[in-house]
């Protein structure tokens, strides 16, 4: 292929100089073309988009993953347009490409940023082989409502965990340098507050006070800006009455001025024109004006910029200098990606799809993501030498596609190893294995196979029950008002319980589920999320004790949906609930007088605690924590303190524990959460082994944004906990003194 038309400044020159030189040669129409991201996933893209590429009306395409077609689009752009500016090629590479890793929420359950980094790296290598150079990931919306379908795409409810995992993912996608083979530009989304949509309904309104915005929802995006993420994406939702795509306050005042972010901002899909639907603008022209002046640099899959920006500049409503700034940001990332030197993809320079590296990473991620929620009486692991027969029941035991989860446009179900396949591989002919699907899908009702499932379960030594929700039940626009097990799965559990056999439930789902109606009817629960390509082998290894569970919950599991929002870092309020203060409906006498004395913040019809707290996850061994201590009683602002604890493996298995550090600012100028995650570490210990786990805390780690919008470190008392979940009870204390 021919090389692109050269600019007067070579690759060795400063990127800013190259951008300025190229901008000086561009017409206004060509500049606006760089701000237009076109859908290319239909028909034959070179024929459909060819003329627009030749006249410079398109600067980026998305949803083209055929490398030959991508190269042809690049050829037209660089050889047949006036200035030869190469294209950004975008794709939703969310948790893998051909090889699929666990959904991001599952990946967060690994609490392993190194694994998140490696997972993003292997995904980038596969996507780059198809010609993709820009991914719309990671999604770093703090997500505290499991009804929201896109919680599956998040790293959960904690701003700290989300920041750490999001940063690692960006580093994996972008590599050491964007010019490196296989590096692709990342996109931090959705700016900002999308995870707080009302009632967990996608695209709905969000209302977030400024202090909460900065202390919680902004934190992962600040981390993304600091690590140099290639782009930001706006939110579909509004924030305090102003849609994200037209919100000058968050895009200019916060993102540009406060965070100092210099990369480009892309709208979400057609969200510029949707400003009219929100009721912020009257027509597409005003939508284009509002979005560009707010700080949007590229419009995705809409035509408001292409149809109206030229006129808006010629009328003087939008300054050309503002267009230059936006286009400069776009050109800068193209230079950083090395596209002007090498716009074409040679797939031979990249690893094969589903390489050993990719499959091993997917298996490790699945293994570390699975959370052992319950294990009554040591039901797990299954002892092969004591098993003669095993029943495998349920609609998700052998679904190669469903285990991949949401956002897997390019995932190959043919690569999936299902739990049923993997279990057969493990037991071979040593255990009689009988499988009954029982339900056509997770939403099915009681059918004839329930009787067969009960018969097979009754004849087995143990029952593996694969339940949950298909991938279509989570993800964008797939929100649920009721997050209990769909269909008649609860009845299936009840029928299995009647057999009197040990029941091990393996849950595959894209969100936390309310499991109160089945938790007492099963002996063990492995929560596997949607575990991806290698989910089956990971599940089988855990079931039979080849590996030990180590995953921890990145989101709280409510008892019932009415508890939502429920998350570990809530505020105390003036009347926090306790076992001494709560009253339950069944305990209230008829005609009892109305009173609020002694009452507290709880629901009459359920316990005030969650079913499973944030950070929860059991093991096949027992870890003990003791002697939590601080290295000093006091530190000054700018100082550092070490908080440590003794950790002992009391069991007979070598295993990994995710040690978690939480703090509380006891009294401050604004009320602070009851606990905040401040650090975590994976620690592997052999049987009987003890170690000291230490965390360093700088006073800045204990800072927060006050009512004036400024970050502050206030003197006062702090509590600190180290343990295996957010309800750890081993505590110490220290003070910050002025």
Q: DSSP letter at 147? A: T
Q: What is the pLDDT of residue 252?
A: 98
Query: Could you report the per-residue pLDDT of 80-103, keeping only the tens digit for each?
Result: 999 999 999 999 999 999 999 999
Q: What is the pLDDT of residue 641?
A: 98
Q: What is the pLDDT of residue 592?
A: 72
Q: Which residues pair with 664 in a beta bridge?
A: 719
Rounded Cα distance between 187 and 178, Å, is 13
Tell me, yes or no, if 268 is annotated catalytic: yes
Q: Is 578 exposed, middle or buried (0-12, 13-18, 19+ CB in 10 A)?
A: exposed
H helix count then E strand count, the chain: 19, 26
Sheet holding 264-266, edge to edge: 187-191, 231-234, 264-266
Query: Could you report the per-residue pLDDT of 572-589, keeping only the tens digit for each?
Result: 999 998 888 888 887 777
Rounded Cα distance between 372 and 504, Å, is 11
Biggest CA pair distance of the chain: 88
What is the CB-side half-sphere exposure of residue 489 using CA atoms within 13 A?
A: 31
CB 460 within 8 A of CB 389: yes
| Residue extents of the structural domains in the chain | 25-349, 623-736
Those residues of the chain that have pLDDT short of 50 are 1-4, 6-9
Of 52, 92, 145, 268, the catalytic one is 268
What is the CB-side half-sphere exposure of residue 11 using CA atoms within 13 A?
A: 11
Question: Please, what is the end-to-end C-alpha distance for the chain in angstroms?
Answer: 66
Q: What is the pLDDT of residue 184?
A: 98
Neighbours of 8 (CB within 10 A): 10
Q: What is the pLDDT of residue 220?
A: 98
Rounded Cα distance between 415 and 419, Å, is 13
Two structure tokens written together for 584: 């339950």
Rounded Cα distance between 108 and 154, Å, is 8
What is the CATH T-level fold of the domain 623-736, as seen in this structure? Answer: Immunoglobulin-like (2.60.40)
Two structure tokens written together for 337: 């990606």
What is the CATH number that goes with domain 25-349? 3.20.20.300
Give just the sign of the alpha carbon dihedral 250, 251, 256, 262.
Answer: positive
Q: What is the pLDDT of residue 4?
A: 45
């Amino acid at each position: 292929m021919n090389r692109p038309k050269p600019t007067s400044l070579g690759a060795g020159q400063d990127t800013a100089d190259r951008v300025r030189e190229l901008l000086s040669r561009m017409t206004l129409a060509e500049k606006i073309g760089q701000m237009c991201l076109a859908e290319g996933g239909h028909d034959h893209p070179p024929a459909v988009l060819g003329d627009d590429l030749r006249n410079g009306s398109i600067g980026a395409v998305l949803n083209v993953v055929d490398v030959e077609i991508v190269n042809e689009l690049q050829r037209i752009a660089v050889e047949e347009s006036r200035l030869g500016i190469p294209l950004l090629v975008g794709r939703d590479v969310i948790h893998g490409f051909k090889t699929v890793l666990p959904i991001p929420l599952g990946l967060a359950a690994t609490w392993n940023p190194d694994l998140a980094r490696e997972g993003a790296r292997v995904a980038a290598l596969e996507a780059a082989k198809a010609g993709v150079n820009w991914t719309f990931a990671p999604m770093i919306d703090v997500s505290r409502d499991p009804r929201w379908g896109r919680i599956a795409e998040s790293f959960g409810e904690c701003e700290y965990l989300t920041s750490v995992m999001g940063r690692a993912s960006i580093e994996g996608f972008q590599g050491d340098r964007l010019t490196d083979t296989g590096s692709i530009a990342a996109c931090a989304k959705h700016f900002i507050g999308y995870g707080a949509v009302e009632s967990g309904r996608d695209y709905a309104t969000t209302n977030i006070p400024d202090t909460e915005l900065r202390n919680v929802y902004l934190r992962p995006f600040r981390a993304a800006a600091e690590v140099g993420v290639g782009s930001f994406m706006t939110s579909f939702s509004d924030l305090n009455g102003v849609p994200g795509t037209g919100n000058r306050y968050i895009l200019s005042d916060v993102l540009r001025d406060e965070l100092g972010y210099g990369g480009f901002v892309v709208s979400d899909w057609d969200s510029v024109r949707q400003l009219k639907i929100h009721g912020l603008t009257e027509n597409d022209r005003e939508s284009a004006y509002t979005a560009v002046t707010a700080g949007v640099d590229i419009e995705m899959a809409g035509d408001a910029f292409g149809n109206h920006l030229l006129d808006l500049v010629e009328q003087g409503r939008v300054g050309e200098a503002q267009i230059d700034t936006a286009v400069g940001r776009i050109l800068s990332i193209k230079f950083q990606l090395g596209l002007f030197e090498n716009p074409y993809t040679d797939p031979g320079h990249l690893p094969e799809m589903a390489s050993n590296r990719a499959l091993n990473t997917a298996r490790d991620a699945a293994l570390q993501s699975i959370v052992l929620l319950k294990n009554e009486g040591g039901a797990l692991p299954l002892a092969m030498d004591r098993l003669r027969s095993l029943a495998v029941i349920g609609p998700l035991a052998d679904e190669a596609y469903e285990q991949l989860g949401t956002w897997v446009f390019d995932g190959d179900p043919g690569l999936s190893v299902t739990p049923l396949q993997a279990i057969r591989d493990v037991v071979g002919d040593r255990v009689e294995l009988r499988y009954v699907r029982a339900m056509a899908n997770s939403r099915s009702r009681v059918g004839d196979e329930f009787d067969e499932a009960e018969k097979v379960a009754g004849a087995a030594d143990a029952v593996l029950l694969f339940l949950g929700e298909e991938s279509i039940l989570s993800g964008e626009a797939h929100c649920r008002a009721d997050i209990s097990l769909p269909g008649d799965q609860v009845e299936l559990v009840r029928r299995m319980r009647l057999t009197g056999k040990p029941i091990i439930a393996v849950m595959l789902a894209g969100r936390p589920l309310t499991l109160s109606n089945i938790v007492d009817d099963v002996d063990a629960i492995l929560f596997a999320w949607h575990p991806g390509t290698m989910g089956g082998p990971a599940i089988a290894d855990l079931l039979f004790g080849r590996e030990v569970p180590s995953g921890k919950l990145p989101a709280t599991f409510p008892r019932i949906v009415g508890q939502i929002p429920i998350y570990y870092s809530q505020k105390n309020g003036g009347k926090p609930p306790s076992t001494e203060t709560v009253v339950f409906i069944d305990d209230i006498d008829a005609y009892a007088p109305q009173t609020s004395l002694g009452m507290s913040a709880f629901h009459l019809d359920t316990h005030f605690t969650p079913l499973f707290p944030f950070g929860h996850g059991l093991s096949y061994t027992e870890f003990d924590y003791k002697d939590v201590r601080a290295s000093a009683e006091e530190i000054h602002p700018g100082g550092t303190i070490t908080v440590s604890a003794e950790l002992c493996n009391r069991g007979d298995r070598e295993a990994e524990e995710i040690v978690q550090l939480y703090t509380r600012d006891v009294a401050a100028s604004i009320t602070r959460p009851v606990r905040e995650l401040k650090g975590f570490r994976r620690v592997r210990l052999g049987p009987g082994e003890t170690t000291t786990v230490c965390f360093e805390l700088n006073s800045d780690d204990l800072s927060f944004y006050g009512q004036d919008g400024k970050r502050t470190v206030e003197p006062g008392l702090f509590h600190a906990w180290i343990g295996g979940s957010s309800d750890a009870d081993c505590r110490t204390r220290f003070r910050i003194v002025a």
